Amino acid sequence: MKKAGAVFVLIVLGLASVFLFLQNAEAKEPYKIGAVFAVTGPASFLGEPEKNTALMLQEQINKAGGINGHPLEIIIEDTKSDETQAVLSAKKLLENDKVLAIIGPSTTGESMALVPIMNNAKTPLISCAAGAPITMPVKERYWIFKTPQYDTSAVEAIYGYMKKQGISKVGIITISTGFGDAGRKALHDMAPKYGITITADEKYGPKDSDMTTQLTKIKASGARAVINWSVGPGQVIVTKNWSALKMGIPLYQSHGWGSKKNIELAGKAAEGVIAPLGRLVVWDKLPDKHPQKALLKKYTQDYEAKYKGEPGTFGGHAYDSIMMIVEALKKVGPDKKKIRDYIETKIKKWPGTGGIFNMSPEDHCGLDKTAFEMVVVKNGDWEILK
């Protein structure tokens, strides 16, 4: 009986391998690219839409016949929002899966951890995190690119708008996380260039429930505007407190404000809040001939149809990263060095979800403050400010 069982298993295995072989012979070899996203852990609000976007694009591209006939295979690894895990995942992708390029990670810390590894492996990385050090100095970031806009670009968009409004004194309030600290630094660094004085510099923790104290201090400091820099519930609480205090000065939010959910949560309190937002969240308000409009519309509608939620700016970063690599693969084939060179020199006036990219040997992000629109909340909806 035992013998018969073993023979049966052998036959099945044999048949299965022949079958697999036949199938493989039919299609061309797949192009493998890796993705390291913070699907779980504290940064999962970034990793989840990124993962969804990757899965959706893989399906769409393969349905349309793949890349020059080669199916696209995106191997997604979860970093659990942890630097060590990000390094392990990247090593696994490079050594076991032999991927042609990696997209992600979701956070600046994880991306920084991968810089030396990617440089050693001579494999391109397109990060989905915003921190400026990811791609600067460019000389030491030969293989590294990123798609999210610089924090400084968002700050410049705000300061530029304030200058037009004649505001020169601001109070800033930032969350004590990587995102808030990076924003705080950018706010301080850019202030002199726009003739802005920071009269108060306040902070709060990611789980704090009331920021009235900080806002009262900002008001007492003589600021003519408040800038809040955070993601998560903090920005809604600040908005509610700002509205309850009737501060009489405008509230500006960072580019982290770009989710309809925030307007829903803050309700009437959100009226009048101004923020620099990527065009992804206001695509329906763009003029038809805007180069980003068509792709934003398709991406947003496809995503919403598939996942019953908005992709948000973060899903868009993954979209841009993947599409850049896909285009490079289409043009130059599976060669790591050529992919890198293509992205650095040929991604020009390239419309993505984050803006219109202009990569160059001096700039591995390719976006500036023009990637943002200043958007105000009006009647529970976004409105682009001129």
Partner 1 sequence: MLTVFLQFLFSGLTIGAVYALVGIGFNIIYNSTSIINLAQGEFVVIGGLLMWFFSESLKLPFFAAVLCTLISSGLVGLLIERLTIKPLKNPDLLLMIMITISVSIVLRGVLMFLFGKEPYVYPPFTEGEPINIYGAIIQQQTLWVISITLFCIILLFLFFKRTITGKAMLACAVNPTAAKLAGVNVSKMVMLSFILSAIVGAIGGMTITPISLMEYDKGPMLSVKGFCAAIMGGLGSNRGAVIGGFIIGILESMTAGYVHSGLKDAVALVILLLILFFKPSGIFITKSMSQLRKF
Residue ranges binding partner 1 (CB under 8 A):
42, 44-45, 48, 173, 176, 202-205, 207-210, 212-214, 216-217, 220, 232-233, 236-237, 240, 244-246, 261, 265, 267
Q: Which is nearer to partner 1, 71 or 233 (CB)?
A: 233
List the structure tokens of 91.
């090593």
Task: Please list the helix, strand and coil fractions of the chain in percent, rounded to the nearest 5, in that order.
Answer: 55, 20, 30
CB of 211 to partner 1, least distance (A): 8
Q: Which is nearer to partner 1, 242 or 350 (CB)?
A: 242
CB of 210 to partner 1, least distance (A): 5
Positive/negative CA dihedral, 307, 310, 313, 314 = negative
With helix as H, strand as E and coil as C, how does 2-19 read? HHHHHHHHHHHHHHHHHH
CB of 75 to partner 1, least distance (A): 24
- What's the DSSP call for residue 361? T
CB of 81 to partner 1, least distance (A): 12
Q: Which is nearer to partner 1, 314 or 372 (CB)?
A: 314
Q: Which is nearer to partner 1, 100 or 273 (CB)?
A: 273
Round to whole Å and give the CA distance between 171 and 19. 67
List the structure tokens of 224.
């003519």
Q: Which is nearer to partner 1, 261 or 337 (CB)?
A: 261
CB of 266 to partner 1, least distance (A): 8
User: Pairing relation of β-strands 381-384 and 372-378?
Assistant: antiparallel
Phi, psi of 338 (to 5 degrees): -65, -35
Per-residue buried b or exposed e for 288-324, using 16+ beta carbons within 10 Å of the residue's own CB: eeeebbebbeebbebbeeebeebbbbbbbbbbbbbbb
CB of 127 to partner 1, least distance (A): 22
Q: Residue type for 315, please? A: G
CB of 42 to partner 1, least distance (A): 8
Q: Which is nearer to partner 1, 49 or 250 (CB)?
A: 49
Phi, psi of 112 (to 5 degrees): -60, -35
Q: Which is nearer to partner 1, 42 or 160 (CB)?
A: 42
Positive/negative CA dihedral, 210, 216, 221, 223 = positive
